[in-house]
């Protein structure tokens, strides 16, 4: 199995766990918790900030000493926009499941920005359609660079069955603004129906990194550098949750030159 693919560790509790140390990089962390009603997960952000994304289900949230109430609602990541909570560095948080709950915890370094805890509701989220034909996908911006955070960029994408995504291939692995930004990235993949599969390739121009892998429901793919397109097979829609962070909070990417013609016309 590719060293860039993290399979879920079971079906209950913390089933995905990516840290900068385990990934061999500097910025991005990602956990996925699956809880039963009445169970609670909690943590302190320390020197990092967090974005809690309700992938499925509902839960009661407390953060920074405030009760935020019961959030969430969708029972499938393919059914509507998510609820999320931004939690700054130096803040305790907890989520108690009211239903079966899948909670993603996206983290990156805090920069002392002094931002408040805030709830990000479905009505706060912008959506857009990217691509055309068999390269169409539907994007929901949870924490884009136009919204306040220190390091985190968080987005959901749904790719219809048989389509490509993150395509034409692009990369963001050089700190060379305004042309390109350096951003580490994780992909948390879900398939509908869940027995489906797709594919993702992570590769560099010189092919010193070139990994192609099958992706199944619940897999996390690490993108430390290079291009990272993916595709889903006929009959199976693909959802993924992206977490990005780097030295500067800006998403500027470089398209693979040999495939850039696909963007014309």
Provide the pLDDT for residue 2.
85
Q: In sequence order, which residues have a C-beta less than 8 Å from that of residue 233 and are 6 or more positions away?
A: 161, 162, 196, 197, 198
Which structural domain, as residue segments, surrounds residue 199? Answer: 5-263
Provide the pLDDT for residue 206.
97
Is 231:199 a contact under the CB 8 Å cutoff?
yes
How many CB atoms neighbour CB 264 within 10 A? 5
Percent of the residues in the chain that have a pLDDT greater than 70, as a whole number: 100
Torsion, Cα of 25, 244, 110, 219 (10° steps):
-70
If one counts the domains in the chain, the total is 1
- Please identify which residue in the block is written with the tokens 């108690």: 96
Mean pLDDT of 155-161: 98
**In the chain, what is the straight-line distance between the N-terminal and C-terminal CA atoms, in Å?**
39
pTM score of the predicted model: 0.97
How far is C-alpha 128 from the geometric centre of its chain's CA atoms? 16
Mean pLDDT of 103-117: 95
Which CATH number does the domain housing residue 178 bear? 2.60.120.10
Give pLDDT tens digits for 171-200. Answer: 999 999 999 999 999 999 999 999 999 999
Mean pLDDT of 219-228: 98
Strand 126-130 and strand 184-192: pairing? unpaired
DSSP symbol at 81: P
DSSP symbol at 123: G
The model's confidence at residue 264, banded by pLDDT at 50, 70 and 90, is: confident
Torsion, Cα of 53, 56, 58, 61 (10° steps):
-20
3-state DSSP helix/strand/coil % of the chain, to nearest 5: 5, 50, 40
How many CB atoms neighbour CB 159 within 10 A? 26
Average pLDDT, the chain: 97
Mean pLDDT of 147-157: 97
Q: Tokens for 81, please give them.
A: 């926009």
What DSSP line would sit under 140-184, residue for residue? EEEE-TTS--SS-EEEEEEE-TT-EES-S-EE-EEEETTTEEE-E
């Amino acid at each position: 199995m590719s060293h860039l693919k993290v399979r879920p560790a079971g079906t209950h509790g913390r089933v995905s766990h990516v840290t900068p140390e385990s990934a061999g990089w500097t910025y991005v962390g990602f956990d996925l918790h699956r809880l039963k009603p009445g169970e609670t997960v909690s943590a302190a952000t320390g020197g990092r900030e967090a974005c809690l994304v309700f992938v499925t289900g509902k839960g009661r949230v407390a953060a920074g000493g405030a009760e935020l109430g019961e959030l969430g609602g969708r029972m499938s990541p393919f059914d509507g926009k998510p609820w999320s909570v931004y939690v700054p560095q130096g803040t305790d948080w907890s989520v108690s499941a009211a239903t079966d709950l899948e909670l993603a915890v996206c983290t990156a370094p805090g920069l002392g920005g002094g931002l408040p805890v805030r709830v990000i509701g479905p009505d706060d989220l912008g959506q857009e359609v990217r691509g055309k034909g068999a390269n169409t996908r539907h994007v929901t911006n949870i924490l884009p660079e136009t919204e306040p955070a220190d390091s985190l960029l968080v987005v959901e994408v749904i790719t219809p069955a048989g389509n490509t995504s993150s395509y034409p291939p692009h990369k963001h692995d050089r700190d060379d603004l305004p042309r390109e930004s350096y951003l580490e990235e994780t992909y948390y993949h879900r398939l509908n129906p869940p027995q489906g599969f797709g594919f993702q390739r992570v590769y560099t121009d010189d092919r010193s990194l070139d990994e192609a892998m099958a992706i199944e429901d619940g897999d996390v793919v690490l993108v430390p550098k290079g291009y990272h397109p993916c595709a889903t097979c006929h009959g199976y829609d693909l959802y993924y949750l992206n977490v990005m962070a780097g030295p500067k909070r800006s998403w500027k990417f470089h398209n693979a030159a040999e495939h850039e013609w696909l963007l014309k016309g």
